[in-house]
Chains A and B, each alone.
Chain A
Amino acid sequence: MPINYYIFLGVILFCIGVTGVLTRRNAIIIFMCIELMLNAVNLLLVAFSKMHHAIAAANQGAATTVGTEGQLFVFFIMVVAAAEVSVGLAIIVMMYRNTHSVDVNFLNRLKH
């Protein structure tokens, strides 16, 4: 598979996520869209790692471990994502407890 396919796939997913963030007003959905963005990145990273591995393998044999970092990075992204989710949902719930809404457009006590 040409790398460009993966690049474009990833970018498209990412942009869908962005569009979601821009168009929805439910905090949870927005947060989900962000997760979608992260996943797009993950996919991209894996693809790249495999690409580099392919290039390296062509030069120095299949035994090389070039490209491992990419996948490890994805692992760390997931870790961080998990942490973020815990905190994020905590905040959203707290918000909900106080205002019985998760609609970001109601959040304009702070402006100007």
Chain B
Amino acid sequence: MSITQILFWFLSILTIFSALMVITRKNPVYSVLWLIITFIAISGHYILLNAQFLAVVNVIVYAGAIMVLFLFVIMLMNLDADAEQTKNKWLQLAGVVAGGCLLLILVAALKGAENQAKTVEMGTGSIGLIENLGQVLFKQYILPFEISSVLFLSAMVGAVVIGKKN
């Protein structure tokens, strides 16, 4: 049981647990916090996989910016625990069952033999480093990069249209 494996199992359990907490907490604020933990755990995975760039971006963008945004909105609306009365039990149950079924189906669909042998290289490998990513991104993936600017533009315009007083 190498250290990586231990870390892997630890992070995995942490991720799943905190994800479960996210969806079970009554109080939105707690959910947000748990979600942050989840993201951090996932970043941990990235590090294990030697994808530092993504790990960093994940922490900065997700755990940082985005989550703060969420938190901010929640605060703004000061939704506290009892703000959300639980939705009707049956629907919730149905939701859980449906999610479970989806999980089962996916697992059943994916337990193909061909993946048994393949392994993921941990720690080593340089593709996750900024230098390499940068090379590919600005050569091969220049178009998507530019296009995503359009995405942001539209998001921006959209936010303006929605936000602007009339």
Which residues does A use to contact B, with CB under 8 Å? 1-9, 11-26, 28-29, 31-33, 35-36, 39, 42-43, 46-47, 49-51, 53-55, 57, 62, 65-69, 71-72, 74-76, 78-87, 89-94, 96, 102-103, 105
Residues of A within 8 Å of B42, CB to CB, are 39, 42-43
Interface string of B134-151 (1 = CB under 8 A from A): 011100010010001001
Majority DSSP secondary structure for residues of B touching A: helix
**Distance to closest chain B CB from A23 (angstroms):** 4
Cα-based distance from A20 to B31 in the complex (angstroms): 11
Our pick among B49, B66, B103, B127 for the contact of A68 (Cβ within 8 Å) is B127
Supposing A18-B102, A33-B22, A78-B62 touch, asked if A3 and B155 sit within 8 A by C-beta, the answer is no
Contact between chains at A91 and B87 (CB < 8 Å): no
Partner of A24, one of B23, B61, B132, B151: B23
Assembly CA distance A85 to B5 (angstroms): 34
Known: A5-B12, A50-B49, A51-B120. 4 other contacts (CB 8 A): A43-B46, A49-B128, A87-B158, A87-B159
Return chain B residues, CB-CB under 8 Å to A46.
45-46, 49, 51, 54, 128
What is the total number of residues of chain B having a CB less than 8 Å from a CB of chain A? 83
For A7, the chain B residues whose CB sits under 8 A away are: 110, 115
CA gap between A80 and B125 in the complex, in Å: 27
Task: Tell me whether A86 and B19 are in contact in the complex, defined as CB-CB below 8 angstroms, given that A1-B119, A7-B115, A103-B84 are known contacts.
Answer: no
Q: Are the C-beta atoms of B115 and A4 separated by less than 8 Å? A: yes
Q: Do residues B19 and A71 form an inter-chain contact, with CB atoms below 8 A?
A: no
Q: Which of B45, B53, B127 contacts A53 (CB 8 A)?
A: B127
Q: Which residues of B contact A2 (CB under 8 A)?
A: 115-116, 118-120
